[in-house]
């Protein structure tokens, strides 16, 4: 009787990815971001009715991170009471303003927030000696002050559009000037100088879509 011999082979397969496939994969731009920011405290020392000029540090905000910042350079807008500074132009002359070292600009648009979907064609102003790009005072910029109720209210249909310090774009709609954004603020009991706002930020340089 003949003996049968069997040979066993082990086959190992190695798969190698093709680097060309990775190189040709489409690179998508960063997504446009939409956020709500609540209770940004913007205190002020002195001001109208106090007998002394307004002073105190501005609370700075960075659209890129979506957070309050203490950076001297990485900020786009800054709040102190009802005043809003931008990181573009020069100081207006009030006390304790942050130094402007960016190229931010601001435009005020009267429309619904959803309808403002591009910054194209807008004229962007910068802070200047004696004047903020977003005007201060009741009915001049973003708010109305009712002296009968002592309430500061955002002007309906007012959208603030910003060119950021580094050439991106954002839109902002301020919802409330009072802590925890009460539906009907009480000027005597609700804590003021707390900003709540919605914003959309486009992180793609030069892209004006919002």
The answer to whether residue 14 scores a pLDDT higher than 70 is: no
How far is it, in rounded angstroms, from Cα 186 to Cα 59?
24
DSSP 94-122: -TTPPPP-SB-EEEEEES-TTT--B-TTP
pLDDT digits (tens, 9 = 90+) for 127-142: 999 999 999 999 999 9
pLDDT confidence of 29, banded at 50, 70, 90? confident
| pTM tops 0.75 | yes
Average pLDDT along the chain: 90
pLDDT over 70, % of the chain: 88
Q: Cβ neighbours of residue 130 under 8 Å, at least 6 residues apart? A: 92, 93
pLDDT at 115: 97
CA angle 197-122-177, nearest 5°?
20
Q: Please state the φ and ψ torsions of residue 143, each to the nearest 5 degrees.
A: -135, 165
pLDDT confidence of 37, banded at 50, 70, 90? very high
pLDDT confidence of 46, banded at 50, 70, 90? confident
């Amino acid at each position: 009787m003949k003996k049968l011999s069997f040979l066993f082979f082990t086959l190992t397969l190695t798969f190698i990815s093709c680097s060309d496939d990775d190189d040709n994969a489409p690179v998508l731009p960063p997504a446009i971001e939409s956020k709500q920011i609540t209770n940004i405290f913007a205190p002020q020392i002195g001001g109208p009715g106090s007998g002394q000029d307004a002073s105190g540090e501005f609370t700075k905000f960075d659209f890129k991170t979506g957070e309050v910042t203490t950076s001297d350079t990485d900020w786009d807008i800054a709040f102190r009471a009802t005043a809003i500074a931008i990181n573009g132009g020069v100081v207006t002359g009030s006390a304790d303003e942050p130094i402007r070292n960016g190229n931010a600009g601001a435009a005020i648009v009267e429309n619904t927030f959803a309808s403002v979907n591009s910054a194209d064609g807008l004229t962007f102003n910068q802070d200047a000696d004696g004047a903020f790009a977003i005007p201060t005072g009741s009915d001049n910029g973003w708010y109305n002050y009712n002296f009968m109720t002592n309430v500061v209210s955002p002007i309906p249909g007012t959208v603030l559009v910003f060119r950021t310090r580094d050439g991106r774009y954002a839109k902002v709609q301020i919802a409330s000037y009072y802590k925890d954004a009460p539906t009907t603020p009480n000027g005597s009991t609700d804590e003021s100088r707390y900003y709540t706002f919605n914003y959309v930020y486009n992180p793609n340089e030069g892209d004006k879509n919002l």
